[in-house]
């Protein structure tokens, strides 16, 4: 029986309430040296749901775990069928006002770095430079046998040719690019091997149950040490992969600011949590700092 990953937490009664006051965020950005840590919530306005917010995908969807993927050919068939269909929508997603505002802050030299927990590539599509993809990216594929990387669009074309007529209607799309399909819809979807060694192909993302590469974690810790403050955007911080950086920043005496509509696991470490929609909040902050946002920065992930 497939078990759900442990991905929830219950807010304590003493967690500070959210606010609508954006002044601390504007003040931190005006000073510069801000390290941004973003989560799925920043992409919801691009049509990609988050995991845990209202209507989040975890209410209906159990993400693939690394253990399931590597142990079961049927699990891989289910994953690649759903991911192949989801990629058609996911890959056409465009950056929203939140992504564009973050890019504008970066262009004006206010950011010391940008770490994202997302695998959607929307920060880069908005023009952000030097993005650290904590959990990898769906636009790359890696072979678990020989370690070769290849573009996702190449595999998408191969899967299209190997599965002609595969056009099921999905019930929804998830933050990991996985479309909601029944086992009947998956059917006998054909999974393809590595073209170099015939090994198992996996998207270059960190699955649930899989560890973030240690060198990537250390790079992020270095960014935290070098930053003046940490700004968390659209993350519940439920999993330790992001929460540890919040804890480390707070322990080092660096201000932690969070913009997230719902309470987060990091609220007790934060100077403030702004409970506003990200696009609205970041656009407002950019206006107060007189920083123009490039509305033309709307390339799709596939671009």
Please state, rounded to an integer, the average pLDDT across all residues of the chain. Answer: 89
pLDDT at 58: 47
220 is in an annotated binding site: no
Given 84, 135, 219, 269, the catalytic residue: 135
Total count of residues recorded for the chain: 303
Phi, psi dihedral angles at 256 (to 5 degrees): -115, 125
262 is in an annotated binding site: no
**Could you give the angle at which helices 152-162 and 73-90 cross, rounded to 10 degrees?**
110
Map out the domains of the chain with their CATH numbers: 17-48+95-135+212-303 (3.40.50.1220), 59-92+137-205 (3.30.1600)
- Give CA 113 to chain center in angstroms: 16
Query: 3-class SS at 60?
Result: coil
39 contacts: CB under 8 Å, gap ≥ 6: 50, 116, 117, 118, 232, 233, 234, 235, 236, 237, 242, 260
| pLDDT, tens digit, 9 for 90 and up, residues 61-81 | 567 899 999 999 999 999 999
Phi, psi dihedral angles at 116 (to 5 degrees): -120, 140
146 is in an annotated binding site: yes
Contact (CB, 8 A) for 49 and 56: yes
- Confidence band (pLDDT; 50, 70, 90) for 91? confident
120 is in an annotated binding site: yes
Does 61 qualify as catalytic in the annotation?
no
Place of tokens 């005496």: 253
45 is in an annotated binding site: yes
| pLDDT, tens digit, 9 for 90 and up, residues 129-163 | 999 999 999 999 999 999 999 999 999 999 999 99
What are residue 113's DSSP bridge partners? 35
Helices (H), the chain: 23-31, 66-71, 73-90, 97-107, 122-125, 152-162, 183-186, 214-226, 240-251, 278-288
Contact (CB, 8 A) for 35 and 229: yes
pTM: 0.89
Q: Which residue did the predictor score with more confidence, 63 or 234?
A: 234
Contact (CB, 8 A) for 87 and 81: no
| pLDDT, tens digit, 9 for 90 and up, residues 167-178 | 887 767 777 777
Residue 3: CB atoms within 10 Å: 9
Query: 3-class SS at 46?
Result: helix
| pLDDT, tens digit, 9 for 90 and up, residues 18-60 | 999 999 999 999 999 999 999 999 999 998 886 545 554 444 4
């Amino acid at each position: 029986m497939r078990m759900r990953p442990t991905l929830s937490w219950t807010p304590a009664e003493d967690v500070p309430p959210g606010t609508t006051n954006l002044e601390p965020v504007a003040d931190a950005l005006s000073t510069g040296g801000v390290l941004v840590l973003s989560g799925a919530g920043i992409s919801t306005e691009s049509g990609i749901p988050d995991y845990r917010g209202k209507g989040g995908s975890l209410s209906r969807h159990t993400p693939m775990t690394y253990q399931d993927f590597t142990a079961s050919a049927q699990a891989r068939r289910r994953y690649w069928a759903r991911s192949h269909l989801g990629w058609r929508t996911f890959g056409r997603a465009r950056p929203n006002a939140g992504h564009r505002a973050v890019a504008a802050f970066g262009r004006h030299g206010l950011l010391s770095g940008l770490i994202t927990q997302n695998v959607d590539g929307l920060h880069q599509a908005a023009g952000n430079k030097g993005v650290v993809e904590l959990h990898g990216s769906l636009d790359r594929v890696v072979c678990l046998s020989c370690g070769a990387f290849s573009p996702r669009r190449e595999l998408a074309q191969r899967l299209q040719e190997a599965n002609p007529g595969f056009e099921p209607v999905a019930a929804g799309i998830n933050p990991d690019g996985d479309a909601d399909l029944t086992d009947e819809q998956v059917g006998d979807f054909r999974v393809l091997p590595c073209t170099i060694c015939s090994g198992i192909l996996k998207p270059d993302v960190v699955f649930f149950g899989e560890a973030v590469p240690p060198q990537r974690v250390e790079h992020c810790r270095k960014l935290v040490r070098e930053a003046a403050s940490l700004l968390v955007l659209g993350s519940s911080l439920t999993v330790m992969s992001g929460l540890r950086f919040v804890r480390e920043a707070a322990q080092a005496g660096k201000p932690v600011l969070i913009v997230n509509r719902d309470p987060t696991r990091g609220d007790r470490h934060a100077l403030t949590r702004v409970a506003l929609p990200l696009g609205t909040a970041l656009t407002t902050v950019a206006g107060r700092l007189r920083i123009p946002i490039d509305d033309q920065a709307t390339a799709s992930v596939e671009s």
